[in-house]
Structure 1
């Protein structure tokens, strides 16, 4: 007699039992142990098949995300460069200037490495890190490091003569506050907040508040773009699903055609179309719809971002909708009409509810892609059409404030996860259909 285990393999069962009454296989092994062994072999085989994909995800997806989130709180510069200064500052009350012992400790820290290249390896990151908190800190530390070899006691006067910033309690408060391996300063800055002289978190001046408004603009533009792709994509998908397969395939090629063109080329084409002297404005002027002095401003603003991104992301809405609409039997609508429903009622009460899984899938797909989009807003968005991804890229490429960029990226990631969790609670991810 043969019995199939969970993996589909046959386990031969004999007619004999052991002293405890347990069935034995044909080779004399207990049946239960043989099945457990076969099940373990099946699990190891399955794990071996998915192991390359799992390793790829961990190395190239999970690990970089963890590194980004760690960098948003990592704060080694002050700890590595000024260990003795931080120890001396433990007894400082934070009110008046520190005493001579603190300045002497700062001198010893700066003189810890006699060789100038090794000293700069610590002093350089320290200057950059403190400059994020207070302007002129980089110049103060760099100038002091170049002349510290000539300092003599009393060191307090020597440091004050080297740069005026050492005569300011603010720099010492920052050193004391940031003298920890981990910091929340990047997240404080990402929320348009800062520390005051008392160490309290307060709002920055209104003319410096940019990140919160950028987050709001990013989510607002993403919602508008998602709605626009739905408004344009639903009729296209409906028409595709009603055509014979041969004609539908030809039209589907037109829908997928943008994927065969570089994203940069498509975005650049919109610049040509939307600019003040572009094709669209020239046509409107030629038709007499607007005057030459009344040309529409459709580029380097939110309008340009919405138009270009709607065109680029439209296929991501059409494909899930089409895959769902194709599975809806036309007989349902005909039956509703035969029972007295008007075409609009039949569409609203019978057809449209069955397309909701496709709408949800396309909406989630377009919305999440829109939130993190970078190239199109950078080229056609200008100042008004910028999104938070452009600010993250600026800090990575220009200001080199990777900690703040990591904090902004982490907040964006958490925001998306929260929105996805809410979507799962309200709609349910099990209802999504991507094809």
Structure 2
């Protein structure tokens, strides 16, 4: 108020000088705040944003074939699929295979073409082995003498698609799509389609786990928020104990508890509820139980933190005005907890879709989630590009879900 009075009272030149001084002070304050946050921003950039960018880049990077077979890549750079294969391209292909034989480059060539079309690895290996006995002369005839497949354009089109430097093959493969010989995008045969089913399974399991955590976690959070301090402390300790135990230990413990001769089956038989042991592990049931146990605290804590700030007299006021306890809870108390419910559901769902260890150890062959396949391609087959494509697609879907939830919340606020 004093500053505004001074501005109104000051003459023109003094007023402008004072305004400029205030703007400079405001800019200095902003730069100071940015300087204090800069180390954290740099840490996030180097340790979070940059690795994600590099992984996503690998899903479209396709330079390995061009490095292993540069001659045929250059010779086919301007080749059209409806024209005969140039003799220079056939000769360059023979030279590349001879140069790559006995080196890791030959494996790189064969693997890349086999990723495009199944069966091309054996074709490349057979061709490279028999080229040593191929007579000199016409390169096209020499290749055709080894296999009739070299007469058609399909293999050469696959070589051209593998030439890079960028390729959508892995991203298409992550969505069970591929490019046909004419370049059109088509769905893979049903007996080869895998990943769309895995994504559906991943989101289905995550949704069921989220609903189970909500049904179990909401009453626990309510008890924590309304219990006496000593009782609430003991209950909170029980909720937090899973955070102090390694995930692998918790998962292994559930294998022991849920097996046919485990504690759970023995207890159910002793109570007379079942006559024969139930199959509770290495199937979808065991996956649900273990995931709910691991993720339940992520549902309880956000809801509990919101419930502690709700004033209890609002429910009492509703009851004093004639509402039943159930009506007062449902129409007065529960709507105030919805932000906590949304946060808990979002946290559990997003965490569940990326789980790998628990489904891998407790689930069966048909219960593996997308995290298992990402780890499989990266650690076992060394196909980093396919693993990066699956991870990038999972990240994209997650971002879409988050954006949709944020948009819904914004619309609800605007409607109020």
Aligned Cα root-mean-square deviation (Å): 2.9
1:264-413 pair list within 5 angstroms: 264-292=248-276, 295-413=277-395
CA distance in 1, matches of 2:101, 2:195: 38
Q: Kindly indicate whether residue 14 of structure 2 is the aligned counterpart of residue 22 of structure 1.
A: yes
Query: Displacement, 1:232?
Result: 0.4
Worse overlay, 369-378 or 186-195? 186-195
* Counterpart for residue 10 of structure 1: none
With the length of structure 2 as denominator, give the TM-score of the two structures: 0.89
* Counterpart for residue 109 of structure 2: 126
1:30-429 pair list within 5 angstroms: 30-89=17-76, 92-94=79-81, 98-110=85-97, 120=103, 122-142=105-125, 144-145=127-128, 152-161=136-145, 166=150, 169-292=153-276, 295-428=277-410
Query: Displacement, 1:381?
Result: 1.2
Query: Displacement, 1:96?
Result: 8.4
Query: Displacement, 1:159?
Result: 3.3
Query: Displacement, 1:209?
Result: 1.4
Match of 2:310, SS state, is coil
Match of 1:197, SS state, is coil
2:269–2:275: 8 Å Cα contact kept in structure 1? Answer: yes
Structure 1's 56 and 165: CA in aligned 2 closer, same or farther, altered over 3 A? farther
1:97–1:167: 8 Å Cα contact kept in structure 2? Answer: no
2:101–2:128: 8 Å Cα contact kept in structure 1? Answer: no
CA distance in 2, matches of 1:287, 1:249: 32
CA distance in 2, matches of 1:51, 1:403: 33
Match of 1:22, SS state, is helix
CA distance in 2, matches of 1:392, 1:413: 12
CA distance in 2, matches of 1:154, 1:82: 20
Query: Displacement, 1:107?
Result: 2.7
Match of 1:208, SS state, is coil
CA distance in 2, matches of 1:278, 1:143: 53
Query: Displacement, 1:133?
Result: 1.7
2:284–2:363: 8 Å Cα contact kept in structure 1? Answer: yes
Structure 1's 256 and 97: CA in aligned 2 closer, same or farther, altered over 3 A? same
Query: Displacement, 1:383?
Result: 1.3
Query: Displacement, 1:90?
Result: 5.1
Query: Displacement, 1:199?
Result: 2.9
Query: Displacement, 1:138?
Result: 3.3
Structure 1's 168 and 399: CA in aligned 2 closer, same or farther, altered over 3 A? farther
Query: Displacement, 1:150?
Result: 6.5
Query: Displacement, 1:47?
Result: 1.7
Structure 2: gaps (5+ residues): none
Residues 215-258 of structure 1 show CA distances to partners (whole Å, capped at 9, x for unaligned) of 11111111111110010001101011111223212211111011
Query: Displacement, 1:97?
Result: 6.9
CA distance in 1, matches of 2:321, 2:76: 84
Structure 1: gaps (5+ residues): 5-12, 25-29
1:300–1:384: 8 Å Cα contact kept in structure 2? Answer: no
CA distance in 2, matches of 1:373, 1:190: 18
CA distance in 1, matches of 2:408, 2:394: 21
Query: Displacement, 1:356?
Result: 0.3
1:333–1:350: 8 Å Cα contact kept in structure 2? Answer: yes
Structure 1's 134 and 350: CA in aligned 2 closer, same or farther, altered over 3 A? same
1:304–1:385: 8 Å Cα contact kept in structure 2? Answer: no
Worse overlay, 356-365 or 277-286? 277-286
Structure 1's 173 and 352: CA in aligned 2 closer, same or farther, altered over 3 A? same
With the length of structure 1 as denominator, give the TM-score of the two structures: 0.85
* Counterpart for residue 9 of structure 1: none
CA distance in 2, matches of 1:288, 1:96: 77
CA distance in 2, matches of 1:423, 1:249: 33
Between Structure 1 and Structure 2, the one with more helix by share is 2
